[in-house]
Structure 1
């Protein structure tokens, strides 16, 4: 056996000699044809993985979610720059796999000049010109961050929970489906040819989800997303996995306690060790349940009252959802990244309108005031089949 003499600890490495022995490094720049093939391969992998795991996906996404989050998302997002919501499992994470893979593609595109190499309007990275942002992305809006306060929080929560308890929401029957239609937009991860990150978001677009009461069957339509076919993707779960707070169904929600204290204890117990601390995770869990679900009225009222007991929750006097509707908001800022998630309610009826995530301080290349994600719930209904819409909206296209 040939043994390599062991170098004594005090003998320094001769780096100059090693450099001469090693071959010269190759040119790291890929050809435009190679970049095109890489992009096509990545997008094919996204579509394949999305089809294989659609039953586990859903917008920070969200933004936070989330929402940015992936809508959303990106939810339902790209989820993405923000953690995105998950239909049927964690509503609103737009599917998570889609968002994460899309963010990977976009980051690669910005760093390597992929947009320029594949026919984008920008030139290659080596040219010094800015690479075009992702298709469909627009600069993220920047708003004045309104200070939140605990003053008036208790009264607002009493009004909101009271309205939720009185709500006449549809009750699904055997073989029916819960339908939720939203408008969503989530943060897009993108880095320009100059190496600087810029805040872009999806153009606000529709998202529709159909889910059976037991959560085992469903459908998602979000044709704006490249990894989601125009006809949509299945959310069926043939194995019918166990339902939890992070994998809920309507039938599961009906089993939860409605007392705020018992609810909050269950949420802390089940989500311990997740997310950016127990308080933020508890708030995010409640937000996920509200974003893309039909929640039984008494449970919704209990969830709002439970949320008000979480440390750091405040009342924001004015917020705007993805449909441009103004309202008051129950909000909490994630101490880890400075993103504040706001649940928005109508000022007069106190009904849930949607969600917004705003950056409260400069962090991770995102400036304070940047709107990382927005959602707006436009319809909640019960229908008889997937891709069937409530009266007046028309039916979705038939399956291919």
Structure 2
């Protein structure tokens, strides 16, 4: 296949490059800048590349098939497509996150109404109930844990939430004058479509906020917002990648890891085939003494605080509905 064929495949009949082509060009350019290879290094001033040439370079980067990302036709019907990931074998955190961003941005999506619900199902390893109630923020106790399936529904306007644990009864709670909780306005989240906008939101004073990993695991975000958070994470110092990890349920995973508070290692786990977010965990990597209102806690390296699989998520019409 020559360069003209490559360009025709990428662009199709349109004269203007597609958003997908632009993303792949950006990813390829980042790859060339960060890892030019052993042959010869171009001087920085020489890296001036047009969108068309960059796109051809992106097509030449290792390509894999990604079949389970849906597309929506003119009738609104979802259908699977085969698409080319920016990096066939991501070896760096920035490459993993570019794949995750690229895949997230191609999910079928319609902006939810205020009266619809964000549905998230997780499978967690938790301490048994008595231990959990006595020390809700303590590490998991080996041999005294259980696996718990949890479902949550949060209305988009934040005024109704519901939950179900272990397949039991659905509990619905409505915001009242005497019952309330902190929420992030969904319109605020929907506007965070670039890493810069996300950083601005993090820096701005607000009544209620959340860490990036909590937003990704607990909210159902618009695809371009999810992609923006991944690209924001790629810019953070100390973020690393572990290509040979496993999820709580035994599935192979790629782990994005970083250290918090000097003694905790946080992992976000991605499916190595689809680059979808499938779980997270929090593990102590050093001994630490933690003082809190609950008293003094002595933490040992290797203590596990969180093991969660995110199994399903989506927008639904009412509590009890699933995807």
User: 1:161 and 2:101 equivalent?
Assistant: yes
* CA–CA separation in structure 2 for the residues paired with 1:340 and 1:248: 26
Report if the CA contact (8 A) 1:313-1:332 is conserved. Answer: yes
Larger radius of gyration, structure 1 or 2? 1
More strand by share: 2
Report if the CA contact (8 A) 2:162-2:171 is conserved. Answer: yes
How do 1:6-17 and structure 2 match up within 5 A? none
User: Over residues 241-262 of structure 1, what are the superposed CA-to-partner deviations in whole Å (9 max), with x where a residue is unaligned?
Assistant: 999xx732544421x2311023
User: Over residues 123-160 of structure 1, what are the superposed CA-to-partner deviations in whole Å (9 max), with x where a residue is unaligned?
Assistant: xxxxxxxxxxxxxxxxxxxxxxxxxxx97111111111
Report if the CA contact (8 A) 1:187-1:372 is conserved. Answer: no
CA drift of 1:289 comes to 0.6
* CA–CA separation in structure 2 for the residues paired with 1:160 and 1:316: 15
User: Over residues 76-117 of structure 1, what are the superposed CA-to-partner deviations in whole Å (9 max), with x where a residue is unaligned?
Assistant: xxxxxxxxxxxxxxxxxxxxxxxxxxxxxxxxxxxxxxxxxx
TM-score of the aligned structures, taking structure 2 as reference length = 0.58
User: Over residues 335-385 of structure 1, what are the superposed CA-to-partner deviations in whole Å (9 max), with x where a residue is unaligned?
Assistant: 34x111111111121111011112212334443233321111111133332
How do 1:387-398 and structure 2 match up within 5 A? 387-390=320-323
Aligned twin of 1:264: 199
Aligned twin of 1:207: 150
* CA–CA separation in structure 1 for the residues paired with 2:178 and 2:227: 28
1:347 aligns to what SS in structure 2? Answer: coil
Report if the CA contact (8 A) 1:157-1:308 is conserved. Answer: yes
* CA–CA separation in structure 2 for the residues paired with 1:162 and 1:263: 17
CA drift of 1:217 comes to 1.0
Q: Which runs of 5+ in 2 are unaligned?
A: 1-89, 133-137, 290-297
Check 1:306–1:388 CA distance in 2 against 1; reply closer, same or farther (3 A cut).
same
User: 1:376 and 2:312 equivalent?
Assistant: no
CA drift of 1:178 comes to 2.2
Check 1:169–1:358 CA distance in 2 against 1; reply closer, same or farther (3 A cut).
farther
1:214 aligns to what SS in structure 2? Answer: coil
Aligned twin of 1:385: 318
Q: 2:248 aligns with which of 322, 331, 340?
A: 322
TM-score of the aligned structures, taking structure 1 as reference length = 0.48
Q: Which runs of 5+ in 1 are unaligned?
A: 1-149, 192-196, 225-229, 275-281, 391-400
* CA–CA separation in structure 1 for the residues paired with 2:321 and 2:275: 29
Task: State the superposition RMSD in angstroms.
Answer: 3.5
How do 1:232-381 and structure 2 match up within 5 A? 232-238=170-176, 247-254=183-190, 256-270=191-205, 285-336=211-262, 338-364=263-289, 365-381=298-314
Check 1:250–1:151 CA distance in 2 against 1; reply closer, same or farther (3 A cut).
same
* CA–CA separation in structure 1 for the residues paired with 2:249 and 2:160: 29
How many pairs were matched up? 218
User: 1:222 and 2:165 equivalent?
Assistant: yes
Report if the CA contact (8 A) 2:120-2:310 is conserved. Answer: yes
1:358 aligns to what SS in structure 2? Answer: strand
* CA–CA separation in structure 2 for the residues paired with 1:202 and 1:170: 39
